[in-house]
Every structure is written in structure tokens, then in C-alpha cells.
Structure 1
């Protein structure tokens, strides 16, 4: 129960207000972008590539719908400090924007409205792997009663936004970077994807910081038990994600590269949570890695003086200058 007004004049930490400001600074709406220049390219793409692209975006729409309506909303309810609630609430709003933005791409590229309806309502609803991911994540979100439950929900949120989204992000980034015969494809749609990537990087960093802070409050026995739960969750989700990736990308011959990219982002999720990489380092597709590094690397750069479990004394203040460097490197312009 909320018993007093939010007080933005009282400083509670070194990062919450910075994340509030950055979320506002990079605020955008999907109608600012009209990817109509992609239509000619879309019509020339072969059916298998079109289908994989549509499936990837439908899956992303579903996960963003969950994160907007359940994930961030539940975190905002259970996070105790009011300014932090505000940041989570803002991020929930942007998850709605992300979900809508995929429809902007769909309705621009696909003229058959019944096919779009089938994708978002029937294909998603009846896809066993998507539904399995959704059940696992939502179950964690909806059972928050204790601080331990809240921590696991934060872990699930970071896994979703810093890890599970990225199998869907791969193809738009790959095509826009010239992954097919060196020819850049669907670049206007990819600009929207880049904005979503930028948001997700900030979301994962913020919730990861809150998770690290909460984890530090537990005694060693509780920490040990929670880590086992976290790793079990990661393994369960990863098994599903590998099968999902094979299904979406197998026919295109890209599954191997997408799986490596997914594991790379699983490691980034672990870093956001304050833990060491879980998967061994491996080669990542240069085109996709270049697009990702322009965003994710600089969002988290220099936030911590060391990897590993969160230590308050060693956390470097996140400043406006950190995010200014991100925005300068991205150079994402509004259309």
C-alpha cells in the first residue's frame, strides 16, 4: 500500500534518476517511423525468408505483450521505492510501444490482414515453444510474495529482455546489415528494431541493478539457493530457445549463428545480474554483432568496476555522460 507521495527531491541512490532521464530522453512512438521504403524489397524476398521474418516478429510481439502487461507491471507493483516504481512503470509503457511497433512493420509489409491476424492470434497461441516460455516466465511474475520471489522475477525479466528477445532480433539486424548477398534489406524496419534494442538494453541494466542490490541483502545460504534456482531457470529456458531457434531459422541455414548470438546475450543477461558468463565465448556473426555492440556495449560500459556479485562500494555512478556516449554512438535519428 502506498502511504506517501513520490519525492523526486530526495536522492535515494546514484542511478535511479539517471535511468528515469535516459528513458525519457530516448522516448519514441512507432508512428514516427514509416518503413514503406521496405515494401519493394519485401516483395522480392523469397517465401522462406519472409516467413522466418514474420515468425520472428510475431514471437517478439508476444513476448513484449507479456512484458508490458505482466512483467514490468508486476515488478512496478512490488518494487518498494516510489521513484523506482516510476521508472518501471515508464518501461512498461515502452514495452506496449514495442509490441505496437511490430504491428507497424507488419501492416506496412504484409497486405493480407488475415495473415497478420493468424500470426498474432493463432500461430502464437498454438506454438508450443512460445507458449512454454510464456508459462514459465509469467508463473514467476505472478507468484511474487517474498523478496526472494521478487528477486527471481527480476531475474526472469532480465532473461527476457537481455536474452530471450534476441533470437527474434537476429534476422532484422542480419538482413539490414547485408547478410544476404551483401545487400542491405528492410533497413527502415531495422531502424525500429534498433530503437527497441536500445530500450531493452536500458531496461535490462536497470532491473539488473535492482536485482543485484536485493541479492546482496540475502544471507549466504539464501544466495546459494537462489543461484541454483537461477541457473536451473537459465538451462530450462535455453533448451526451449535452442529448439525455437532451430524451428525459425533451420530452413535458412542460420540456426547455428543465431544460437551463438543467443548464448552471447545470455551471458550479457548474467552480467546485468552481477554474475560471470555462463556460456563459453564463441564467434558471433560480425554483421549482427556490430549492430548489437553499438547499443548494448555502451549501455553497460563502466557501470561496474568489476564483474561478479554486486558490491556497493565498487559500483561506479552512472551519469548522464555515460548515456550521452550511448546516444552519440547510436546516432538514431527520428524520421
Structure 2
């Protein structure tokens, strides 16, 4: 009989406890968009100006495209270089939830928009030069990059590039508008926090095995990539937000989250922006506590998902020597 042709995954024998802890965190957080009563936001939506509506439509169109990239190509690319069977299982979970995220935006569109408007939104995502640039840049790395470069691309996508879109629903949530749309975004944020931290941790394991020379070479590539992505993100942000006057505040939020992405990778922050510089209304929205939408049956999403704590700065430093990492 041939032995070791195919190995069964054994969760009772772990090479890395972080795999199990992440699996449990992600399954504890499981949710579906169908449990959120988006139609309750229609009254707010009808009162919004055409400019505000357009921003919402375009940011969610952009987020849909990026989540599609992450679910269709990103996780499949990372699975080619897993260190453990359990890591593959975690990435399977992440891949599914990225598909849930992408579908959630379509649920928002089908609630708030007409079929013609939805068609226009998706046409815009397929042709916007700045949105397509970052998608192409990340996808090229998924297709041609090294194992560690692919992890960097994934972390930059989930902890940095998504946030130009997240700003809008967090802003409206902070002003008691589009509360159920905001609830979905908070659930997505909670997932992305774990995704970015976990993949960043796996990056650090590989990075620490490199020679000093190879580490310096990879660091240079990482910061060059971040500069390139940020330059494009500035243009994308101005395109989206100049019409409502939010661009500069959004860029502060982006720089703050770019630093978070670097921390996920165990690297030093690049920008001077801190949480204190971000619009406090938006920062308050990052809190991952959830609302209970069904008082009588107690089956709101907060009840189903359990008590999940928000991410803090220390969570971005898994496996990092905290004496040398800058906060």
C-alpha cells in the first residue's frame, strides 16, 4: 500500500497555533449580508444629494471590484505557497468571506439603486483608470510575484487600498445615516482586520528566514510599491471626493491605514499620520461592535457572531519584536 499519497488534515496536531486561533476567530465572526435589513436605509438614501449618492455608488463599485480580485485571484495565489495544511484551510475561509463581501455590495445596490443605475455603476468600475490601475498592479503580483511579494500585495489591498472606499459609509454611520449599510461595512472591516493580520504574520515568518541582504532588497521593493500605490490612490481619492470636499480627510485616513499595513508586515510606519489625525467620527465607526436587528427573536447579527473585540495596534505586531517595532 502506498503511504503518504494524500495526508488528512489533523487539527489535533498543529505546527502553528496561530492557524487554529485564526480559524476560530474567523468562524466566530461568520455572517451573511441577508441578515441585515438594508431596506431600512431607504429613507436616508432618498434624502441624500445626487453628489453624495454618486460617491456612495462609486466607492462601493470600487470595493466590489477589489473584493472580486481578492476572492478570485488573491487567495488562490497565496494557497500555492502555504506552510501548513491548516493555513490552506484558513485561506479557504478567507476566500469565501471575500466572496461574501463582494456580494454584500450587490445587496446594497439592489436595495438602493435601479437596474439602470446598477449597470452604470459597474460600467464605471470597469473603466475607471485609477481603480483599474491598482487592480492590475496587485493582480500582476499575484500572477508573477514571489511568495512573500504576494503576501505584501494582499496585505496592502486589505489594510490600505480598501479604505478609500470604507471612509464613506463610516462617515455616514457616524452621522446616523445609512446605519444598516454601515453595519455591513463594520462586519467587513472586522474580517479584513483578521485577514491582514494573519497574512502579515505569515509574511513575517518567511521574511525572518531571509538573509540580511535579501531582507533589505525586499524592504526596498515593499516601500517602492507602497509609494506607487499611494500616488495612484491620491488621484483616485480626488476623483471620488473632490465633489463633496472630503479628499484631504480621506487621504489622512489612507495614510493611517497604510501604516497599519506596514505594521502587519512587521515593518516601520512610513507616514506621520496617527489615529489622532483621522476624523474622529470615522474612527469611531471602526469599532467592531454590532447591532442587534431582531429584538424579539434575538437573531440579529451581533447575537449570532458573539463577542468579538476590535483590533488594536498590538494585534498588528504578531511575531514582531515589539522592542524594535515603532508604534
TM (normalized to structure 1)? Answer: 0.85
User: Number of residue pairs matched?
Assistant: 302
Q: Which residue number in structure 2 is paired with residue 114 of structure 1?
A: 116
Give the drift of 1:2.
Answer: 8.1
The corresponding residue for 2:300 is none
The gaps in structure 2 that reach 5 residues or longer are: 290-307
**Mapped partners of 1:260, 1:247: distance in 2:** 16
Q: For 2:14 and 2:322, locate their aligned partners in 1 and report how far apart those are by CA, in whole Å.
A: 16
Q: Where does residue 135 of structure 1 map in the other structure?
A: 136
Which ranges in structure 1 are unaligned for 5 or more consecutive residues?
179-183, 316-335
Q: Which moved more, 1:44-53 or 1:291-300?
A: 291-300
Correspondent of 2:183 among 187, 191, 206 = 191
CA contact (8 A) 1:151 1:211 kept: yes
The residue that corresponds to 2:283 in the other structure is 289
Query: How does 1:92-103 map onto structure 2 within 5 Å?
Result: 92-103=95-106
1:277-299 Cα shifts (integer Å, max 9, x gaps): 11012511010111225579942
Compute the RMSD of aligned alpha carbons: 2.3
Residue in 1 aligned with 2:154? 157
Q: Does the CA contact (< 8 Å) of 1:205 and 1:300 recur in 2? A: no
Say if 1:213 and 1:310, in contact at 8 Å, map to a contact too: no
SS at match of 1:299: coil
Return the offset for 1:118: 2.3
Alignment of 1:200-219 (within 5 A): 200-219=192-211
Partner of 1:233: 225
Distance 1:253 1:175, change over 3 A: same
Tell me how far apart the structure 1 counterparts of residues 282 and 209 of structure 2 sit (CA, whole Å): 38
State the match for 2:320 in structure 1. Answer: 310
Q: Residue 117 and residue 213 in structure 1: after superposition, are their counterparts in 2 closer, same or farther (change >3 A)?
A: same
1:41 positional shift: 1.0
> Using a 3 Å threshold, how does the CA distance of structure 1 residues 83 and 164 change in structure 2: closer, same or farther?
same
Inter-CA distance 86–93: structure 2 relative to 1 (3 Å threshold): same
SS in 2 for 1:159: helix
1:218-252 deviations in whole A, cap 9, x for unaligned?
00010000000000000000001010000100010
Q: Is the 8 A contact 1:106 1:116 kept in 2?
A: yes
Partners in 2 of 1:10 and 1:75 — Cα distance? 23
- 8 Å Cα contact 1:275/1:309 also seen in 2: no
Alpha-carbon distance, 1:12 to partner:
1.2
Q: Is the alpha carbon distance of 1:242 and 1:101 closer, same or farther for their aligned partners in structure 2, counting shifts above 3 Å?
A: same
The structure 2 residue matched to 1:253, chosen from 229, 245, 249, is: 245
Cα shift readout 1:127-167 (whole Å, capped 9, x = no counterpart): 100111011000000124xxxx1101101100000000000
- Give the TM-score, by structure 2 length: 0.87
Query: Which deviates more from structure 2 when the two are superposed, residues 275-284 or residues 243-252?
Result: 275-284
**Secondary structure, counterpart of 2:238 in structure 1:** helix
Q: Separation in 2 of the partners of 1:167 and 1:313? A: 31
CA distance in 2, matches of 1:53, 1:62: 14
- Residue 311 of structure 2, aligned match among 287, 294, 299: 299
